[in-house]
């Protein structure tokens, strides 16, 4: 269970470092839910073990993404995001 959580954290770091939107994590979450549900239905995992594995994996994915985004923002001296009108934002 620890190795799956660490793998999800590394994947989250890679996705966040590639400057993908946070909504790209949604298919990854759905894939995690499907895999854990399949393992539970096949009898490989107990119900509480499957729930705990799902929670830890999703949390690791989100923590990796958040850490990567925060690290990227701390390295950049200006935020290069644009507003809805296409004008650059002022520095924070």
* Average pLDDT of the chain, as a whole number: 83
| Phi and psi torsions of 15, nearest 5° | -65, -40
Question: Which residue bears the tokens 């996705």?
Answer: 15
Give the pLDDT confidence score for residue 92 in this predicted structure: 47
What is the model's pTM? Answer: 0.74
Of 68, 75, 36, give the one whose Cα is nearest residue 54: 36
- pLDDT at site 4: 87
The Cα 1–Cα 45 span in angstroms is 11
Average pLDDT, integer, range 11-34:
88
With a cut of 90, say whether residue 66 has pLDDT above it.
yes
- CA–CA gap between residue 21 and residue 2 (Å, rounded): 26
**Does position 40 have pLDDT exceeding 50, yes or no?**
yes
Rounded to whole angstroms, the Cα distance separating 87 from 90 reads: 9
Q: Residue 35 region, left (φ>0) first, then alpha (ψ -120 to 50), else beta?
A: alpha
Q: Are the C-beta atoms of 77 and 27 separated by less than 8 Å? A: no
């Amino acid at each position: 269970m620890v190795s799956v959580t660490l793998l999800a954290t590394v994947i989250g770091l890679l996705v966040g470092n590639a400057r993908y939107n946070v909504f790209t994590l949604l298919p990854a979450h759905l894939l995690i839910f499907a895999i854990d549900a399949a393992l539970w239905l096949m009898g490989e995992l107990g119900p509480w073990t499957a729930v705990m594995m799902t929670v830890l994996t999703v949390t690791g994915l989100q923590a990796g993404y958040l850490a990567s985004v925060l690290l990227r923002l701390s390295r950049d001296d200006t935020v290069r995001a644009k507003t809805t009108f296409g004008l650059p934002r002022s520095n924070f």
